[in-house]
């Protein structure tokens, strides 16, 4: 009968993946529910992005290009909201546009949420141009006249109906482009707008894209780089407005600790079981 008893390590080895996933889910949810914030160290790339936007004044206008969709929201949406809080706090006017159809509702949600926080007026403090296909052609022609592709805003109202847009025609009237990217559109901003029109650019990218985007920062082709959820958390720290970036980093750290613990316990259980069976 004793031979049928399972010791502790046998029980560990018999744990199903459903239980492991449940534990991981709990570990991730707890920091989000409690609102735990994790302290992060500010990287030079994110600090450069912050200082670039901080250097603008209330007469300046920035374009925020939503080049990501819901699949990249966990990393880039906190970044968008942090940047919008920074620009609206400094009374910088914002033009939003999207080169991905599924990115438009994502960007609009973030824009309207932050605009309400700061009581900004649509058409005076910010505007949403909506989605347009043909990224490179649009980028190049916007250097001549934005209305060549965007005659109306996202609500099909002529741009000249809005006070903010009456004196904005091309990149000469834009202080900075902020591209939030999960694909190659950021490279197009650099190649077709940065080099051709000498336009200042800051990019926010997913974590997996950060390493391949750094050369553009080192060469001076972009003025700042925000990478992944950690970059969003760093930016929230710089503007002193904690949000999902800092909370998400806490949840991510807890999940990593749980995974490491599972690996350690699993390996100990494996070797203990083999020793018991006389294989070691």
pLDDT at 39: 73
Token pair in block for residue 188 = 């197009």
Among the listed residues 168, 48, 163, the one whose alpha carbon sits nearest the alpha carbon of residue 97: 168
Per-residue confidence of the chain (280 residues) as pLDDT tens digits?
444 445 555 555 556 667 766 766 776 676 666 666 667 789 999 999 999 999 999 999 999 999 999 999 989 999 999 999 999 999 999 999 999 999 999 999 999 999 999 999 999 999 999 999 999 999 999 999 999 999 999 999 999 999 999 999 999 999 999 999 999 999 999 999 999 999 999 999 998 999 999 999 999 999 999 998 889 999 999 999 987 666 756 556 666 666 777 677 667 766 776 676 665 5
pLDDT at 201: 98
Q: How far apart are CA 24 and CA 15, in angstroms?
A: 13
Q: Where are the domains of the chain?
A: 6-36+249-276, 44-242
φ and ψ of 232, to 5 deg: -60, -40
- pLDDT exceeding 70 applies to what percent of the chain? 78
pLDDT at 249: 60
Strands 201-205 and 176-181: parallel
CA angle at 191 for the pair 106 and 224, rounded to the nearest 5° = 60
pLDDT at 256: 62
**Exposed/middle/buried for residue 167 (C-beta within 10 Å: 0-12, 13-18, 19+):** exposed
Among the listed residues 169, 172, 133, 125, the one whose alpha carbon sits nearest the alpha carbon of residue 151: 169
pLDDT at 264: 76
Q: Could you report the per-residue pLDDT of 112-122, keeping only the tens digit for each?
A: 999 999 999 99
Strands 176-181 and 126-131: unpaired
pLDDT at 248: 59
pLDDT at 1: 44
pTM passes above 0.75: yes
Contact 221, 192 (CB under 8 A): no
Q: Describe the strand order of the beta sheet including 176-181 as a list of residue ranges.
A: 126-131, 93-98, 61-67, 176-181, 201-205, 224-227
pLDDT at 265: 67
pLDDT at 271: 74
Q: Which CATH architecture has domain 44-242?
A: 3-Layer(aba) Sandwich (3.40)
């Amino acid at each position: 009968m004793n031979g049928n008893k399972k010791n502790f390590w046998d029980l560990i080895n018999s744990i199903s993946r459903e239980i492991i996933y449940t534990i991981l889910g709990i570990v991730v949810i707890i920091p989000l529910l409690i609102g735990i914030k994790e302290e992060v160290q500010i990287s030079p790339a994110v600090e450069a992005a912050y200082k670039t936007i901080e250097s603008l004044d209330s007469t300046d206008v920035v374009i925020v290009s939503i080049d990501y969709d819901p699949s990249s929201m966990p990393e880039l949406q906190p970044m968008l909201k942090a940047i919008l809080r920074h620009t609206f706090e400094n009374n910088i006017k914002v033009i939003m546009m999207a080169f991905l159809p599924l990115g438009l509702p994502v960007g609009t949600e973030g824009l309207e949420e932050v605009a309400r926080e700061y009581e900004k007026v649509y058409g005076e403090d910010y505007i949403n141009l909506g989605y347009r296909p043909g990224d490179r052609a649009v980028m190049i022609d916007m250097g001549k006249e934005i209305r060549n592709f965007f005659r109306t805003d996202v609500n099909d109202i002529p741009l000249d109906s809005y006070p903010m847009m009456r004196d904005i025609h091309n990149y000469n009237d834009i202080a900075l482009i902020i591209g939030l990217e999960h694909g190659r559109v950021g490279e197009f901003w650099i190649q077709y707008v940065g080099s051709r029109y000498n336009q200042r650019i800051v990019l926010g990218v997913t974590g997996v894209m950060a390493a391949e985007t750094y050369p553009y920062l080192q060469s001076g082709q972009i003025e700042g780089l925000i990478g992944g959820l950690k970059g969003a958390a760093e930016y929230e720290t710089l503007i002193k407005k904690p949000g999902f970036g800092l909370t998400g980093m806490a949840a991510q750290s807890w999940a990593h600790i749980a995974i490491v613990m599972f690996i350690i316990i699993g390996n100990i259980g494996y070797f203990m079981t083999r020793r018991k069976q006389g294989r070691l």
